[in-house]
Amino acid sequence: MVKKQTKLMVRLGLLGKDIAYSFSRNYFKVKFEAEQIACTYENFDLEDITMFPKLLQNNPDISGLNVTIPYKEQIIPFLDKLDKKAKKIGAVNTITINSKGQLKGYNTDCYGFKKAIKPFLKKHHKKALILGTGGASKAIAYTLKKLNITFDYVSRTPKKNVKFTYDDLTIEDINNYKIIINCSPVGTYPEVNSCPDIPYDGITNQHILYDLIYNPEQTKFLRLGKIQGAQISNGLKMLELQAEKAWKIWNSTL
C-alpha cells in the first residue's frame, strides 16, 4: 500500500479533453487526504490524443492515469498492453505505467456499472437500449452481456451494428426495452435543458432509466423518466466504484 510514510509522492491523473469539471480529481484529492496516502492527482487536458506521447515525455514521473471522453478508444494504439477485459470491450479508462515506462490499459467502467445497476434489476428487465456509441457505451454493452440482458444501440446516424437512429424510435420501441441507458454527453452541465430525443411517453413504471452523467445530479433525461414513473439513477455511484477499482489496480503496481 502507498501510505504516508512514503517519502516520494506518487503522481496520478486524468486524461481527457475539456475536463475542468471532472469528478475524478476532487474524488481522489479527498480520498488521499482522508486516508493520508502519499499520492497526487491532476487533470491532463489534451486538445488532441496525438499530444499524449509529449505529455509522457514531459512528465516521466506519472505512474497511472484515468481516461475519459473522448479518448477511451483513441488511447489504445499508444499502449503497450491491454488487460483481457479492456481488449474485449475495446475501450480503456485506466492505465498503469511501470518503471520501464510500459503502459497497460484496463477498463473499470464495466465493474462500476455492474455493481451500480444490479440493485435496480428485476425479472422483467431483459432488454436494454444504449443511447450513444462512444467508448463508455462499449463497457456498458460488455456488462449487459455478462448480465444476460440483450441490448441495441441508438445513434444519431445509421452505423454498423446500430439498430435505431433517434428518428426511428417509436413509443412501442421504448416500451419494448425496459432499461434505457444514456451513454451520450447530452444533458451534461451546462447544457442542462438538453436530453436525448426519444419518445418519453413510452416509458412506464416498469422502466429503469440510467444516465452515466452525474452533473447535474438529475438530468432532464432522468426527470422525464421519473415523471413517467420509472426508476432512475445517475452515474455517480458507477464513477465511485470504477474509481476505487482503478485505485486497486494502481496500488497493486506502485
SS3 for 142-200 is: HHHHHCCCEEEEEECCCCCCCCEECCCCCHHHHHHCCEEEECCCCCCCCCCCCCCCCCH
pLDDT, tens digit (0-9, with 9 covering 90-100), for 216-237: 999 999 999 999 999 999 999 9
- Could you tell me which residues come within 8 angstroms of residue 34 by beta carbon, excluding any fewer than 6 positions away? none
Contact in structure between 66 and 81 (CB atoms under 8 Å): no
Q: Which fold has domain 10-107?
A: Rossmann fold (3.40.50)
Sheet holding 103-106, edge to edge: 39-45, 10-16, 62-67, 94-97, 103-106, 81-82
pLDDT at 6 over 70: no
**Residue 22's pLDDT band (boundaries 50, 70, 90)?**
confident
Query: Catalytic site residue 54?
Result: no
This prediction's pTM: 0.92
Q: How do residues 131-182 score in pLDDT, each as one tens digit?
A: 999 889 999 999 999 999 999 999 999 998 999 999 999 999 999 999 999 9
Identify which has the larger pLDDT, 65 or 1.
65
**For residue 61, what are the CA distances in angstroms to 28, 37, 68, 83?**
18, 17, 21, 22
In the chain, % of residues over pLDDT 70: 97
Contacts of 220 (CB under 8 A, 6+ apart): 187, 192, 193, 194, 195
pLDDT recorded at residue 2? 45
Residue 254's pLDDT is what?
Answer: 75
Q: What is the mean pLDDT of residues 59-78?
A: 96
Closest listed residue to residue 225, CA positions, set 190, 180, 194? 180
Q: Where exactly does CATH 3.40.50.720 map onto the chain?
A: 110-237
pLDDT for residue 191: 94
**Closest by CA position to 152, among listed 138, 160, 143, 162:** 162
pLDDT surpasses 80 at 3: no
pLDDT at 38 exceeding the cut of 80:
yes
- At residue 1, the pLDDT reads 44
Which of these is catalytic: 3, 4, 31, 72?
72
Query: Considering the chain, what is the average pLDDT of its residues?
Result: 94
- Is it the case that residue 4 has pLDDT exceeding 60? no
> What are the E-state strand segments in the chain?
10-16, 39-45, 62-67, 81-82, 94-97, 103-106, 127-131, 150-155, 164-165, 179-182, 208-211, 231-233
What does the block give as the cell for 5? 510514510
Q: Which CATH number fits domain 110-237: 3.30.930.10, 3.40.50.300, 3.40.50.720, 3.40.50.1820?
A: 3.40.50.720
Q: Where in the chain is the domain with CATH 3.40.50.10860?
A: 10-107
**Averaged pLDDT, 36-58:** 97
Question: How would residue 21 be classed by pLDDT, with cut points 50, 70 and 90?
Answer: confident
Q: Is the pLDDT of residue 242 over 90?
A: yes
Q: How far apart are CA 204 and CA 217, in angstroms?
A: 21
